[in-house]
Amino acid sequence: MKHWFLPSFLFGLLAGAWLLPAPAAQAAGLDRAGLVQDLCGDAGAMGRAGAALTATAATGSDDERAWAAPLARAAIDRKLACDAAGAVLTEGGLDALTRAPREAQGTPRSPLLSLKNRPVYELADAAFALRGAPDAGRRAAALRTLERRPALIPEGLLDMAAEAEGDAGLKAQIEALAQTAALNAADPAARIRALSRVADNRSRRALTQVTALAQDPAYASNPEFRAAVDAATARIERGIAIGDALATLYNGLSFASILFMAAIGLAIIFGLMGVINLAQGELIMIGAYVTFMVQQGLRHAAPALLDWYLILAIPAAFLVTAAIGIALEALLLRHLYRRPLMSLLATWAVSLFLVNLVRVVFGTQNLQFETPFYVSGGVPVIGDFIFTWNRMFAIAFAAVTLALTWLVVRKTPLGLNIRAVTQNRDMAACIGIPTRRVDMMAFGLGSGLAGLAGLALSPIYSVNPQMGQNFIIDSFMVVVLGGVGTIAGTVVAALGIGQINVLIEPLWGAVAAKVIVLLMIIGFLQWRPEGLFAVKGRRK
- Rounded least distance, CB 60 to other proteins, Å: 58
270 lines the binding site for other proteins (CB under 8 A): yes
Q: Which residue number, 58 or 358, has a Cβ lying nearer to other proteins?
A: 358
Closer residue to other proteins, CB minimum distance, 136 or 519? 519
Tell me the window of 58-66, 168-176, 250-258, 329-337 that interacts with other proteins (CB under 8 A): 329-337
Q: Note whether 340 binds other proteins by CB under 8 A.
A: yes
Rounded to the nearest whole angstrom, what is the least distance from the CB of residue 465 to other proteins in the complex?
Answer: 11
Say if residues 27 and 201 touch (Cβ distance below 8 Å): no
Rounded Cα distance, 455 and 202, in Å: 35
The burial of 466, by beta-carbon neighbours within 10 Å (0-12 exposed, 13-18 middle, 19 or more buried), is given as: middle
The residue among 5, 20, 310, 338 whose CA lies nearest residue 193 is 20
Is the CA virtual torsion 442, 445, 449, 451 positive or negative?
positive
Give the whole-angstrom CA distance, residue 290 versus residue 23: 64
Which positions from 176 to 195 touch other proteins by CB under 8 A, shown as an x/- string?
--------------------
Based on the shown chain and the rule CB under 8 A, indicate whether residue 361 belongs to the binding site for other proteins: no
Residue 262 found at the interface with other proteins (CB under 8 A): no
Cβ atoms within 10 Å of 533's Cβ, excluding its own: 20
Q: Does 345 bind other proteins (CB under 8 A)?
A: yes
Residue from 5, 85, 10, 99 nearest 40 by CA: 85
Closest separation in Å from C-beta 339 to other proteins: 7
Does position 276 interact with other proteins (CB under 8 A)? The reply is: yes
* Nearest distance in Å: CB 77, other proteins: 50
The residues with which 481 forms a beta bridge, in sequence order, are none
Q: Does residue 341 touch other proteins according to CB under 8 A?
A: yes
Choice between 188 and 340, CB closer to other proteins: 340
Residue 365's nearest CA partner among 462, 471, 469, 468 is 462
Least Å from the CB of residue 353 to other proteins: 4
Q: Which stretch binds other proteins (CB under 8 A): 77-85, 184-192, 331-339, 361-369?
A: 331-339
Query: Could you please report the per-residue DSSP string of 135-155?
Result: -HHHHHHHHHHHHH-GGGSPT
Q: Which of residues 207-236 bind other proteins (CB under 8 A)?
A: none
Please choose, out of 166-174, 249-257, 296-304, 344-352, the segment that lies near other proteins by the rule CB under 8 A: 344-352
DSSP state of 254: H
CB of 477 closer than 8 Å to CB of 528: no
Cα separation, 16 vs 32, in Å, equals 32
The answer to whether residue 348 forms part of the interface with other proteins (CB under 8 A) is yes
Contacting other proteins (CB under 8 A), which of 336, 408, 520, 532? 336
Q: Does 309 bind other proteins (CB under 8 A)?
A: no
Q: How far apart are CA 9 and CA 15, in angstroms?
A: 10
| Burial (Cβ within 10 Å: 0-12, 13-18, ≥19) of residue 419 | middle
Per CB under 8 A, which region of 181-189, 238-246, 310-318, 336-344 contacts other proteins?
Answer: 336-344
Point out which span in 342-350, 400-408, 423-431, 497-505 binds other proteins (CB under 8 A).
Answer: 342-350
Q: Answer yes or no: are the C-beta atoms of 309 and 435 closer than 8 Å.
A: no
Contact criterion met (CB below 8 Å) for 125 and 79: no
User: Does 471 engage in binding with other proteins (CB under 8 A)?
Assistant: no
Round to the nearest angstrom and report the end-to-end CA distance of the chain: 67
Binding of other proteins by 349 (CB under 8 A) = yes
d(CA 71, CA 39): 9
Among 84, 215, 526, 537, interactor with other proteins by CB under 8 A: 526
CB atoms within 10 A of CB 519: 10
Figure out which of the listed residues 41, 274, 297, 380 binds other proteins, where binding follows CB under 8 A. 274
Q: How many helices (H) and strands (E) does the chain have?
A: 23, 5
Positions 487 through 516 that interact with other proteins (CB under 8 A): 510-511, 514-515
* Residue of 338, 361, 413, 507 interacting with other proteins (CB under 8 A): 338
Between CA 153 and CA 150 the distance in angstroms is 6
Q: Tell me which stretch binds other proteins (CB under 8 A): 125-133, 174-182, 339-347, 433-441.
A: 339-347
Residues 6+ apart with CB under 8 A from 140: 170, 173
Q: Judged by CB, which is closer to other proteins: 220, or 473? A: 473
- Site membership for other proteins, residue 339 (CB under 8 A): yes
Q: Which one of residues 313, 355, 438, 452 is an interface residue with other proteins (CB under 8 A)?
A: 355
Q: Check residue 476 for interaction with other proteins (CB under 8 A).
A: yes
Nearest distance in Å: CB 280, other proteins: 11
- Please report, as ranges, the residues that interact with other proteins according to CB under 8 A: 270, 274-276, 278, 332, 335-336, 338-346, 348-350, 352-353, 355-356, 360, 469, 473, 476-477, 480, 510-511, 514-515, 518, 521-523, 525-526, 529, 539
